[in-house]
């Protein structure tokens, strides 16, 4: 797959605030998965030694907001901050600068075909790796839970990112995630 360069974009290098973004719910279509493949290939070209796993709603797969999540596992001896710099410095036309919170690196892409990619960068031995995998497994094994979650997600179409995040956090807490 050829990695295309986006048109020149004006404005700040800093990622826009997500809290007021309007959530757009999308279906897990073939086109969406082509975008997933694009980002997996892009990240693999930057970090060939990493393991990349689709997590979140598209991994189940169910409808999702216009964002995909990829977990990027790196060796325990690698500095997450330096990895973030490597991703964003070499690909500033694709990714905004990232941040590290509780030993997890987060990098958001600029939108491609209306979809954003969020990278979750973790050391291979981090307990959050298993947590993300277990969440997907739990949804895949419990159709009732999955249907309730998808209903919640559909109800968030047109809401703000802050409203979406609050509703999702409540759902996860009520369902012991």
Q: How confident is the model at residue 19, as a pLDDT?
A: 57
Q: DSSP string covering 91-133, please?
A: TTTTB---EEETTEEEEEBPPBTTBEEEEEEEETT-HHHHHHH
- What's the rounded Cα separation, in Å, for the pair 132 and 117? 16
Give residue 112's pLDDT: 83
Enter the pTM of the model: 0.87
Condensed to tens digits (0 to 9), the pLDDT of residues 47-79 reads 999 999 999 999 999 999 999 999 999 999 999
DSSP-assigned letters across all residues of 67-82: EEEEEEEE-TTS-HHH
Q: Minimal CA–CA distance to 21: which of 118, 154, 161?
A: 161
Tell me, what's the pLDDT at 111? 87
Q: State which fold the 26-127 domain adopts.
A: Beta Polymerase; domain 2 (3.30.460)
- For the chain, the structural domain boundaries read 26-127, 142-177
Segment (H or E) for 147: helix 143-155
Cα–Cα separations (whole angstroms), residue 96 to 11, 44, 75, 148: 12, 18, 23, 33
Alpha-carbon 120 to chain mean position: 7
Residue 84 near residue 46 (C-beta atoms within 8 A): no
Please state, in angstroms and rounded to a whole number, the distance separating the CA atoms of residues 168 and 173. Answer: 9
Q: Which are the contacts of 165, defined by CB distance < 8 A and separation ≥ 6?
A: none
Give the pLDDT confidence score for residue 92 in this predicted structure. 74
**Which residues in the chain come in under a pLDDT of 70?**
1-20
């Amino acid at each position: 797959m050829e990695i295309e360069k986006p048109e020149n974009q004006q404005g700040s290098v800093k990622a826009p605030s997500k809290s007021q973004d309007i959530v757009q719910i999308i279906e897990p279509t073939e086109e969406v998965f082509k975008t997933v493949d694009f980002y997996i290939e892009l990240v693999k070209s930057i970090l060939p030694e990493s393991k990349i796993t689709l997590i979140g709603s598209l991994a189940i797969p169910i409808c999702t907001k216009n964002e995909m999540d990829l977990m990027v596992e790196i060796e325990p001896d690698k500095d997450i901050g330096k990895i973030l710099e490597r991703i964003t410095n070499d690909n500033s036309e694709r990714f905004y600068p990232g941040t590290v919170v509780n030993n997890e690196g987060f990098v958001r892409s600029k939108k491609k075909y209306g979809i954003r990619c969020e990278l979750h960068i973790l050391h291979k031995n981090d307990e959050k790796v298993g947590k993300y995998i277990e969440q997907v497994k739990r949804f895949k094994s419990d159709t009732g839970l999955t249907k309730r979650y998808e209903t919640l997600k559909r109800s968030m179409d047109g809401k703000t990112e802050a409203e979406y995040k609050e509703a999702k956090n409540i759902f996860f807490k009520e369902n012991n995630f």
